[in-house]
Amino acid sequence: MQNGYFQLVNALGGYGLQIFQPKDGGADVNLQEVLNYLERESVPYDPMAIKKAILSGEDTVCFLERKDCPALEETYSIEVSQDNMQVILRFYPASQSGKRTTMDSVIRDLRYRNVVYGIQMNVLQDHFMSDGIYGTDLIVAKGKEPRHGTDASVRYYFNTDVHAQPTLKDDGTVDYFHLNMINPCRKGQLLAEIIPEDEGEYGITVQGAKIRPRQVKKAHLEFGHNIEISEDRKKLTSLVDGHVSLVEGKVFVSDVYEVENVDLSTGNIEFEGSVQVRGNVSSNFEIRAGGNVVISGVVEGACIEAGGNIIIARGMNGMAKGILKAGGNIVAKFLENATVSAGGYVNTESILHSNVTASTEIQVTGKRGFITGGHVRAGQRIEVKTLGATLGAPTVVEVGVDPEKKAEYMKLQKEISEIVKNIRSIQPILASFTEKKNRGVRFTPDQLNYIRNSAATMETQKKSLEEKNARMQELQMEFNPQEKAAVIVKGEVYPGTTIIIGDSSMQVKNTYQYCRFERIDGDVKATAI
């Protein structure tokens, strides 16, 4: 492939411009480039005649003047890219009676322009050792891009993202006893280590200036009791046989606290590790654990909080006062008259008149698989067999927005309203003070102290308002419902049910079967599964 180019040549009775047409798909001769060259060399021309010669598609000479062909030396243009990472040279041939420039003179010119790095000698040699490469941009110098490094990271040697789901047995019931959701560890076991950061390498511009790679982040290990850190602070090892978990970036190893039942014989339980209850949890008692809580029996109107997962093999009857709160997932046979909040997913066979919240998803599976009454929220999706009830019990299901962030948003709205109210109550005081001061009114020390306190309160309130408004804007940007947010019903949906996806809602007025509710064009719509 060869681009088209041009050259001043002798012609009958004078001289003209030789147009060399491109070959093998090369670029055409650029008319404006030709005119600029002739202007630069003070050569008279007829632009229409030159344009006609270029468009002829054939090698041809466009007559210019009845004089001897001027002896013009080979020239070139030098262009340094805006980022100083490459230099482009474009050669223009000498006239037929002119001389070629030299490679040494080009290199001197590059040096004069402070081009000292990455000169492509082979490209220049290709030009000067041939008849010339014209009408073509030649990259004659290249800078070196920086090699960006990588941040340090922490490698964990245990499962940090436990998503084990209960097994659905052939008879339609769910096996809540074999979930493999707890990570056992042995004394001396390596739990985590830091993979050091890679600083990367500097780049260099064609002028020899260094280009710094992006700054990388270091990492550090956070851990609780029963863990030893190495002298170089890069490795964590367990000091005991127990269970390991990762809670908000912190590694915990704990022995499991086991009891038969939680009742009057035990009182409330507060334990840094995991708690295993072989029987039941009676009403009005509390379990607070840093790890997981596993209960083999029934939970009544109790309060259970866990940094990890909560597993209740026989379900919970909250009696309108029971609370479950887990940093991880919640798995229970049934949830009735309870308030439930999970940092991960919720999996159960039925939800009755309960307020249930999950950051990711809620699955109501098994033989019954129903949600009746209450308010059920999930960040991503809800999957259920039967939604609502034939008697029309008010049932609300909501997906598409992180429930915790939505709660934070509602709280911020109230706080901002209160701050604005406070600011409006202080403004008249400060305005009155300024007016009286301008009139020359003298104030007592107590009055001046009161004004100073009011001004300080005003500044604090304004700063708080600015911070809270900024946080609200951040949350608003995250409130667009996720593309995959959906409510999936594998049985029936009854009238009286409200389905909310993001900021759109739908009041179910007719019975639907085997359908998927999604947000389409701003509205909640039902589609077939």
Q: Could you read off the pLDDT of 222-279 as tens digits, one per residue?
A: 998 899 999 999 999 999 877 888 888 899 887 788 889 998 888 888 887 789 999 9
In whole angstroms, give the CA distance from residue 34 to residue 17. 9
Task: State the pLDDT confidence band at 62, using cuts at 50, 70 and 90.
Answer: very high
The two three-digit tokens of residue 102, written as one number: 């030299």
Burial class (CB in 10 A: 0-12, 13-18, 19+), 63: middle
pLDDT reported for residue 309 = 94
* pLDDT beyond 60 at 178: no
Give the length of the chain: 529
* pLDDT beyond 70 at 181: no
96-121 per-position pLDDT tens digit: 989 999 999 999 999 999 999 999 99
In whole angstroms, give the CA distance from residue 161 to residue 179. 14
Amino acid in the structure at residue 340: V
Which residue from 479, 343, 471 is spatially nearest to 398, judged by alpha carbons?
479
448-464 per-position pLDDT tens digit: 898 889 889 989 988 99
The two three-digit tokens of residue 447, written as one number: 């009055």
- Strand locations in 379-521 (E): 381-387, 395-399, 486-493, 497-501, 504-507, 512-520
* pLDDT beyond 80 at 439: yes
pLDDT reported for residue 509 = 87
Q: Which residues contact 81 (CB under 8 A, 6 or more apart)?
A: 87, 88
pLDDT reported for residue 473 = 80
pTM above 0.85, yes or no: no
DSSP-assigned beta bridge partners for residue 262: 281
291-338 per-position pLDDT tens digit: 899 999 999 999 999 999 999 999 999 999 999 999 999 999 999 999
* % the chain with pLDDT above 90: 63
What does the longest C-alpha to C-alpha distance in the chain come to?
Answer: 121
In whole angstroms, give the CA distance from residue 371 to residue 310. 20
pLDDT reported for residue 392 = 67
In whole angstroms, give the CA distance from residue 14 to residue 228. 93
Dump the DSSP string for 60-102: EEEEEESSPPP-PPPEEEEEE-TTSSEEEEEEEPPPTTS----
pLDDT reported for residue 46 = 92
Task: State the pLDDT confidence band at 165, using cuts at 50, 70 and 90.
Answer: low
